[in-house]
Amino acid sequence: MADERLYDHAPRFLAIEQAQDEVSARVEYLLQSHEPQPVIVDDPYRRLLLSPEEISRLWGLFPASARLRAANNPPIINVDTPRWFAHGSSSEEPAITDRLEEALSATAHGLAHNDENYVITVHEIPENGFSQATKRLVQAGALIHEMAHTITDPELNETDPLKRLEFNSGRVVMARDWFSAFAELAETQPPISRYSAAYRNPDLTFPIDANGYYLGTPVVEEMVECINAELLGYIVNMGGLTFEPFAGHGTRQVDIQRYLQARAVQEAIKTI
Ligand SMILES: [Zn+2]
């Protein structure tokens, strides 16, 4: 069974459309108040609802320390035609189609994804019953989400114990150890968003593998959605759209800020 929270964006579009004036004012303010940072955008047919200049300001929402840690800085952004999630999609594996007739619904369309080289592809948003202004705001969130993945995912997959994160406190840890600690705390609290909630177990714990380790994707999706909430100041969670995304989440906002401000360091090999 496909978890509709993963594939059908209707509640997100609806919540943003209902609060459109406020969300729009916030996003426009954020775009104007942050310096543009270089991005590589290939959008020859102008399918995106944000200009390359606006996308460069979205990248500018990330602290410099976080941008420096990204797999690609500047980020590389391509654009493609609409894609929908088809019948047969499961929580593990989406079924993708470029034909609306095969889609789960008109709002079950892909927004964006990263490939194995952390190149971001944004899909044109098809006719889905929502306004251009709402689609544009959703697309801004999708871009922040994918940009965040270009930072979190390489760090999750980093196995070299010499490559570490140094926090402003001076603490130096392997990123994956920090991710595990984040997950332990996060699973005592509600998921930050409707989307990240889809990756939790029914009892809100994170899924683990046969050896008792957290599966990476659910933890990273929660982190990425927290970064989204931190940088944009709103999120759509199971209760709808909130401008206080971290209410009820303990130290989570500060933890995410510290994570974004950390530096990548290479520990020297210690010889005895
Ligand atoms: Zn994601």
Residues 6+ apart with CB under 8 A from 111: 9, 122, 123, 125, 138, 139, 142, 145
Output the pLDDT for position 92: 76
The CA 270 to ligand 1 mean position distance, Å, reads: 37
Band (pLDDT 50/70/90 cuts) for residue 271 is low
Contact 38, 74 (CB under 8 A): yes
Token readout for 267 is 């520990």
Q: How far is the CA of 112 from the centre of ligand 1 (A)?
A: 9
Q: Tell me: the pLDDT tens digits for 214-267?
A: 999 999 999 999 999 999 999 999 999 999 999 999 999 999 999 999 999 998
Percent of the chain with pLDDT over 90: 91
Residue 69 confidence (pLDDT) above 60? yes
* pLDDT for the residue 272: 65
Q: Yes or no: say if 222 and 27 are a contact pair by the CB < 8 Å rule.
A: no
Cβ atoms within 10 A of the Cβ of 6, count? 20
In degrees and rounded to multiples of 5, residue 42 shows phi and psi of -115, 95
Using the predicted structure, report yes or no on whether residue 86 has a pLDDT greater than 60: yes
Ligand 1 midpoint to CA 149 (Å): 7
Helix (H, G, I), strand (E, B) or coil at 171: coil
CA of 51 to the centre of ligand 1 (A): 22
Q: What is the pLDDT of residue 2?
A: 64
Continuous segment of H or E residues that includes residue 77: strand 76-80
Q: Are 16 and 25 in contact (CB under 8 A)?
A: no
246: left (phi over 0), alpha (psi -120 to 50) or beta: alpha
Taking alpha carbons only, the member of 10, 14, 34, 67 closest to residue 260 is 67
- How many Å apart are CA 147 and CA 140, to the nearest integer? 11
Output the CA 12–ligand 1 centroid distance in Å: 15
**Cα(228) to centroid of ligand 1, in Å?**
11
Do the bridges between strand 172-173 and strand 163-166 make them parallel or antiparallel, or are there none, so unpaired?
antiparallel
- Size (the chain), residues: 272
Residue 255 has what pLDDT? 97
**Among candidates 126, 155, 156, which has minimal Cα distance to 139?**
126
Whether 129 and 201 have beta carbons less than 8 Å apart is answered as no
Instruction: Judge whether residue 1 has pLDDT over 60.
Output: no
Ligand 1 centroid from CA 145, angstroms: 6
**Confidence at residue 182, expressed as pLDDT on a 0 to 100 scale:** 96
Ligand 1 centroid distance, CA of 269 (Å): 34
How many Cβ atoms from other residues are within 10 Å of residue 96's Cβ? 14
Euclidean distance between CA atoms 126 and 105, whole angstroms: 12
Cα of 196 to ligand 1 centre, how many Å?
8
**2 CA to centre of ligand 1 in angstroms:** 16
Give the Å distance between the CA of 219 and the centre of ligand 1: 10
Residue 272 Cα to ligand 1 midpoint, Å, equals: 43
Q: Are 80 and 121 in contact (CB under 8 A)?
A: yes
Centre of ligand 1 to C-alpha 91, Å, is: 13
Q: Using the 8-state DSSP alphabet, how is residue 211 labeled?
A: T
pLDDT in tens, 164-206: 999 999 999 999 999 999 999 999 999 999 999 999 999 999 9
Q: Work out the mean pLDDT of the chain and round it to a whole number.
A: 94
Residue 91: the pLDDT is 73
pTM score of the predicted model: 0.95
User: Rounded to the nearest whole angstrom, what is the distance from the C-alpha of residue 263 to the centroid of ligand 1?
Assistant: 22
Query: Mean of the pLDDT values across residues 25-36?
Result: 96
Task: Name which of 18-32, 78-92, 242-256 the model is least confident about.
Answer: 78-92
